[in-house]
Amino acid sequence: MSTPTFDAPFRETLNDLLAWRRDVRHFKTDPVDRDIVLDCLKTVSIGPSVGNSQPWRFVLVDDQNRLQKLTELFEATNAEALSDFAGDSAKLYATLKLAGLKEAPIQLSVFADIHTNVGRGLGSRTMPETKAYSVVGAIHTLWILLRAHGIGMGWVSILPPDAMAELMEVDPTYKFIGHLCIGYPQEQTLTPELVKAGWQDRLPFDEFIIER
């Protein structure tokens, strides 16, 4: 296979794709072709990971009873998170839509097998967390691939890790990384939802650069 050439028009399109990739909370209930998601996951699975450990574990959640328990778990955890805020911040937090669990047609829980022997520990001996980082990178790749199909994704992190491993009936040593809601977004926008809601503006780019 010849090495592809990624020219200037491709790079411009890629920049557009990245700019239009948003964390979606408002979904249409229209069905999503499951094969598209599986094809994207296949592409994700050939991506890099520390020591080639391939620690990602994807749980496609279809069981309605399990989804109901997941929604209840989120609502309880979100109520606890609300109690951490006071005054105007609490009022604003209460208005935020932080998950698409009831609307998104595809639900995917993602875990990291941080104790896998695949890769024989290469690269993770001094930084064991790199196996989880590898899964985070895989999720980002999935985000981009789905967006290229016009499909949105929302990452739900307001969930207790131990309870998620139990609910999804996975190996209890797996590390919960996040639950993903996948579906067609109600709108396409360049503006992050939390910016639109008035929760947090974008910071100036120069605040992220440190020179030594």
CA 129, CA 117: separation in Å to the nearest integer? 15
Model confidence, pTM: 0.95
| CB of 66 closer than 8 Å to CB of 57 | no
23-189: which CATH number, 3.40.50.2300, 3.40.630.10, 3.40.109.10, 3.30.70.270? 3.40.109.10
Q: Is the pLDDT of residue 133 over 90?
A: yes
Question: Which CA distances in Å does 187 have to 77, 93, 150?
Answer: 27, 22, 11
CA 22, CA 192: separation in Å to the nearest integer? 6
Phi/psi of residue 196, each to 5°?
-60, -35
Q: Is the pLDDT of residue 100 over 90?
A: yes
Q: What is the pLDDT of residue 193?
A: 92
Average pLDDT over residues 83-101: 95
Smallest CA-to-CA distance from 28 within 193, 155, 185 is with 185
Q: What is the pLDDT of residue 115?
A: 96
Would you call 67 exposed, middle or buried from its count of C-beta atoms within 10 A (0-12, 13-18, 19+)?
middle
Average per-residue pLDDT in the chain?
96
Residue entry with tokens 């296949």: 42
Question: Which CA distances in Å does 105 have to 113, 136, 169?
Answer: 26, 22, 21
Structure confidence by residue, pLDDT tens digits, 18-71: 999 999 999 999 999 999 999 999 999 999 999 999 999 999 999 999 999 999
Q: What is the pLDDT of residue 1?
A: 77
**Sheet of 152-156, strand order:** 56-61, 106-112, 175-183, 152-156
Structure confidence by residue, pLDDT tens digits, 138-163: 999 999 999 999 999 999 999 999 99
Average pLDDT over residues 93-113: 96
Q: What is the pLDDT of residue 66?
A: 97
